[in-house]
Amino acid sequence: MSRHALLRWLHGFLPAPVTLRWTERLRAGLGALIGIALTGGIAHLVIGDVAAIPYLIAPMGASAVLLFAVPASPLAQPWSIIGGNIVSATVGVTCAMLVHDPVDAAALAACLAICAMFALRCVHPPSGAVALTAVLGGPSVHALGYGFVLAPVAIQSAALLSSAIVFHALTGHRYPHGHALPKPASAPQDAASFTRADLETVLARRSEMLDVDPDDLETLLRETQLQAYARRFTEFTCADIMSRAIVSVSPDTSAQAALALIEKHHVKALPVIDATRRVRGIVTRADLAPVRRDGVAQGMKHAIEKLMRGPSTTPPLVAALMTTDVCTVKTGTPIAELVPMFAQFGHHHIPVLGQHDQLAGMITETDLISGLYRQSFAGERRSARATSGSRNP
């Protein structure tokens, strides 16, 4: 092996740079601290003062790394931790009972646990340690028999998972990662575009499992595709693509009047402005119409809230229903900067501010796609003219 080839091989051992912000790293560490502490406390309350049953087993620490540090991983989802740990514990106890040599039993337990987790679609790396714990945990663990599956494994797994769900909800992170993902704005289709079928075909050709959910991967690739597409355009600004005929309301407009405006003008949201035309909020059709034909649960919630408030003769005002944390842009903002706002942060309507921060227009996802297409078409025409000029001096 040449020196260059050796250095290149050794370079593969270097870790990739971590792009996660420091606040997120600290959040993950805090989550693990809280999760493990709660898991031990809950296990103590449920199990009681039984010396033979540990309140914490070592694999829970590895599970905490996945649940709090990489919660988007398919290996960190609820079925992975619950199913993987229970299946591996069952396999480990069985191997410990049937195979007398601990090394042979441990190797067989790890092998069968992996195969079982793949078969049941609950691959969870710390579960391999659960299987080994059942084999190598010593007399106290062996004395539990299949009780080891319930206490401590199932109880601690459920406690840690519950802690992760609550912690992520309180800190504003989506967990668990299911398949119902918000769809980002689609880039104009061309030869370089891909479909979900293309992605699944490529993943099926790989000889190893990727630690990323296909839905998350598709969303990431589409956002990257749209960002790369938008990066080519720097001429158009928000002023060029925004809708100027804006229907707006004031904070003291009644909800009924605002909803009537939405129905009349066939829009989905209204900017809320004050007397100086400064944006104070935005109100959507969903904010104004809590009772929907397709939303029985929302209707029940609205009815309960109305019952708790008691009878009232004052109709609700827009000020009480609008969203005050509004994302806005300036008229001179390049349209490429709108891409992450729509694709990554899930905005659907963005007010555009002109002089003195007064409302000048509104941009939707349709406006953005239309602007990207218009600029692309204009660029192609300029390129064609340049090519024609070079051929005909």
At residue 65, the pLDDT reads: 96
Q: How confident is the model at residue 312 (pLDDT cuts 50, 70, 90)?
A: low
228 against 385, higher pLDDT: 228
Q: What's the distance, CA 179 to chain centroid? A: 10
Based on the number of CB atoms within 10 Å of its own CB, is 206 exposed (0-12), middle (13-18) or buried (19 or more)?
Answer: exposed
Helix (H/G/I), strand (E/B), else coil: 270: strand
Q: Span 98-122, mean pLDDT?
A: 97
Measure the CA–CA gap between 162 and 156, rounded to whole angstroms: 10
Task: Note the pLDDT of residue 117.
Answer: 97
Residues 116-157 have pLDDT tens digits of 999 999 999 999 999 999 999 999 999 999 999 999 999 999
The Cα 340–Cα 44 span in angstroms is: 46
Average pLDDT, the chain: 83
Q: Which two tokens stand for residue 62?
A: 């590895």
H or E stretch including 304?
Answer: helix 296-309
Q: Render pLDDT for 314-341 as a digit per residue (tens, 0 to 9).
A: 678 999 999 998 889 999 988 878 877 8
Task: Select the more confidently predicted residue: 119 or 189.
Answer: 119
Q: Which residues contact 357 (CB under 8 A, 6 or more apart)?
A: 278, 279
In the chain, where the domains are located = 19-170, 181-231, 238-284+317-378
pLDDT for 212-226, tens place per residue? 777 778 877 877 776
> What is the per-residue pLDDT across 257-305, written as a single tens digit (0 to 9) for each?
999 999 999 888 999 999 999 999 999 988 887 534 444 445 555 555 5
Q: Note the Cα 383 to chain centre separation in Å.
A: 40
Given this structure, which CATH class describes domain 238-284+317-378?
alpha beta
Strand 349-353 and strand 359-364: the pairing is: antiparallel
Q: Is 162 exposed, middle or buried (0-12, 13-18, 19+ CB in 10 A)?
A: middle
Long-range contacts of 278-281 (CB under 8 A, 24+ apart): 278/357, 278/358, 278/359, 279/326, 279/328, 279/351, 279/353, 279/357, 279/359, 280/251, 280/322, 280/324, 281/251, 281/318, 281/319, 281/322, 281/323, 281/324, 281/326
Q: The whole model's pTM is what? A: 0.57
Question: For residue 220, what are its two tokens?
Answer: 């990431």
Q: Tell which residue, 81, 62, 152, 178, has the closest CA to residue 120.
A: 81
pLDDT higher than 50, residue 111:
yes
What is the predicted pLDDT for the residue at 377?
A: 65
Between 322 and 49, name the one with better pLDDT.
322
The C-alpha angle 271, 275, 277, rounded to 5 degrees, equals 45
User: For 81-99, what is each residue's pLDDT tens digit?
Assistant: 999 999 999 999 999 999 9
pLDDT of 40: 94
Q: 379 pLDDT band (50/70/90 cuts)?
A: low
pLDDT for 97: 96
Calculate mean pLDDT across residues 172-198: 63
What is the C-alpha end-to-end distance of the chain, expressed in Å? 57
The residue ranking higher by pLDDT, 249 or 10, is: 249
